[in-house]
Structure 1
Amino acid sequence: MEITFTREDRPSLACTDFGGPGTPVLALHGTFGRGAVFARLAADLAGRARVLAPDQRGHGRSGRAAGYGRDEFAQDAADLLDHLGLGPVVVLGHSSGGLTAQRLAARRPDLVSALVVEDIGPVVRRPEVADPVLDVRGWPSSAPTRDGLARALARHVPDSGYFMASAVEDAAGWRLLFDWDDMMAVQEGCVGDWWPDWLGSSCPALVLRGGRSPLLPGWLAREMVERRPGTRLVEFPAAGHWVHDDEPSGFARAVGDFIASRTDPDEG
């Protein structure tokens, strides 16, 4: 089911509610993404989790915004959960969505029962992260055909698949559901030291790390676990930054097991 949440003073938010029984999970995509990237996870967890995946501001079918800071993204997530009358829920965030999840848990603990952070650490800056911002200024945003758009993007990145998940067809051809300048602002808003957010909540947490990812070094993932009680780490040695794409079955299994551990009375 597609939901559109309209507010007078903030961008409208589009959200896919995959429905079904089970534990509610708010799934927050990363920069350049959209809620639909979690369709496989929702299918794999059908009957165990009800996945709700919004298009965050400036992405997908949601509205563009004047600001793309951590506070704005966290407030959007809180507003959506309040609007739906949900909470506390499991909040899962990939990349920049993981930063949003951490801030939401720290600022609105009443809305977050557990936290899943996919391949992002509480430090996003040099030297801990070699390239925290991908310069996408001037990249192509449309083409007459889908293949043409994919080929144009492939001139800039080895794999354009993640970007093409946000491509749609209209009367003029194919276009991306985001603006490159907005995406620069989103990335720049992620740069910083976010340890206070990570350490600011006490709910159970799961960190998922891709072994080939440049954004979450192994030492930093281990420090996240050491410094925050109640945190588990699962690593996927062959995966890159997009663990949910590179290892979808293992990703779903890790998330599902974590959710089950929170609802099984034998687990406490």
Structure 2
Amino acid sequence: MPTPTLDYVPCPDAAGGHRMAYWQWGDAAAGRVVVCVHGLSRQGRDFDVLAQALVDRSPDPIRVVCPDVVGRGRSDWLKDPRGYVQPTYVGDMVVLLEALHRQAPIADLSWFGSSMGGLIGLGLAGSPKLSLPSPVRRLVLNDVGPVIQWQALQRIGGYLGQTGRFETVGEAAHAMWTVSAGFGAHTAEQWLALSTPMVRPLDGGGWTLHYDPAIAVPFREVTEQSALQGAAGLWALYDAVKARTLLVRGARSDLLTHDTALAMTQRGPHARLVEIEGVGHAPTFVVPGQVDLATAFLLEP
């Protein structure tokens, strides 16, 4: 599989700024742009298979951009961990879109967001006062919605921030599988490909997970009550979305209930709902059927 190009965009913060890394596939001058944003403890190389499929199948030149959200992958770590919150992430994506637009004007913008990446997409597509170079025309929300189940947040909090030390990449991949069974069935080759960008080498040997353990600091401050209060704001964002919207839910998801997903088909952008059997939180979009689903939607005229 071809390797994407790696670039960086400088983003402001109260401590003097940080760099956000992003991976780019396809034609850097293309006006058609798809941005794919990962989940809470993941990184942009999660989308290698989907990005290559979009490039291969698009009838027109296309750019697929997959950022490493700050604190993850090749991006900088924040000096103040209290910055690992939604407003920072949305602001960084606005800066990224402006940089991409300067590189080549964006004429058609789509957004694919897995879990946290979907919430960032809601922040962009559901905030009409934001100055974007192009409106989001197609929005894929991968196993996330305005109501996030408290039990799922507790489960994620049980491992978030524990980046560990591993002798080999294979050992790290096995450890990640123990907390990622909800991703559904994968071949050994598929899982190793997903896992290899998830680690970084340690000085003195061995490997650790790629992200800043401090991303867990603001996450641990979330309470069941604050999560419920946040849902009202997320519904307001969702109801303001004008983009054509595809909602994908793992049929076994503990984060997005079927009832919430159904409500999302009946209000706001009236999302088209597809539930994937045998998968929980969240589909990875590396297996053929999932890739076909996403590319067909994102490549619609």
TM-score over 0.5 for the alignment? yes
Q: Distance in 1 between matches of 2:174 and 2:244?
A: 42
1:132 equivalent in structure 2? 153
**Post-superposition shift, 1:196?**
1.2
Of the three residues 227, 248, 255, the one matched with 1:208 is 248
Report the number of matched residues.
257
- Structure 2 unmatched ranges of 5 or more: 184-190
**Post-superposition shift, 1:206?**
0.8
Decide whether the 8 Å contact of 1:137 with 1:181 is kept in 2. Answer: no
Q: Distance in 1 between matches of 2:22 and 2:219?
A: 19
Instruction: Kindly report which structure 2 residues correspond to 1:39-54, keeping only aligned pairs within 5 A, or say none.
Output: 39-47=48-56, 48=58, 49-54=62-67
**Post-superposition shift, 1:140?**
4.4
Q: Does 1:167 align with 2:183?
A: no
Please list the CA deviations of residues 40-67 of structure 1 after superposition, one character each: whole Å capped at 9, or x if unmatched. 1012222315321000011111112231
**In the superposition, relative to structure 1, how do residues 230 and 223 fare at CA in structure 2: closer, same or farther (>3 Å)?**
closer
Secondary structure of the structure 2 residue equivalent to 1:142:
coil
- Structure 1 unmatched ranges of 5 or more: 264-268
Q: Distance in 2 between matches of 1:137 and 1:203?
A: 32
Instruction: Kindly report which structure 2 residues correspond to 1:53-202, keeping only aligned pairs within 5 A, or say none.
Output: 53-65=66-78, 66=80, 67-85=83-101, 86=106, 88-107=108-127, 108=130, 110-126=134-150, 130-133=151-154, 134=156, 135-136=158-159, 139-150=162-173, 157=179, 159=181, 165-171=197-203, 172-186=205-219, 191=227, 192-193=230-231, 194-202=234-242
Of the three residues 268, 283, 291, the one matched with 1:228 is 268
Decide whether the 8 Å contact of 1:32 with 1:183 is kept in 2. Answer: no
**In the superposition, relative to structure 1, how do residues 88 and 125 fare at CA in structure 2: closer, same or farther (>3 Å)?**
same
**In the superposition, relative to structure 1, how do residues 144 and 256 fare at CA in structure 2: closer, same or farther (>3 Å)?**
closer
Q: Distance in 2 between matches of 1:52 and 1:149?
A: 26
**In the superposition, relative to structure 1, how do residues 164 and 141 fare at CA in structure 2: closer, same or farther (>3 Å)?**
farther
Decide whether the 8 Å contact of 1:31 with 1:187 is kept in 2. Answer: no
**In the superposition, relative to structure 1, how do residues 239 and 184 fare at CA in structure 2: closer, same or farther (>3 Å)?**
farther
Tell me whether 212-221 or 180-189 shows the greater mean CA deviation.
180-189
Secondary structure of the structure 1 residue equivalent to 2:55:
coil
2:282 equivalent in structure 1? 242
Instruction: Kindly report which structure 2 residues correspond to 1:250-261, keeping only aligned pairs within 5 A, or say none.
Output: 250-261=289-300
Of the three residues 5, 8, 11, the one matched with 2:9 is 5
One-letter code aligned to 2:264: M
Q: CA RMSD in A?
A: 2.7
* Paired-residue identity, %: 28
**Post-superposition shift, 1:228?**
1.9
**In the superposition, relative to structure 1, how do residues 141 and 7 fare at CA in structure 2: closer, same or farther (>3 Å)?**
same
Structure 1 length as normaliser, TM-score? 0.84
Secondary structure of the structure 1 residue equivalent to 2:26:
coil
Q: Distance in 1 between matches of 2:85 and 2:12?
A: 19
Q: Distance in 1 between matches of 2:283 and 2:160?
A: 26
Structure 2 length as normaliser, TM-score? 0.76
Please list the CA deviations of residues 10-30 of structure 1 after superposition, one character each: whole Å capped at 9, or x if unmatched. 321100001246831100000
**In the superposition, relative to structure 1, how do residues 204 and 46 fare at CA in structure 2: closer, same or farther (>3 Å)?**
same
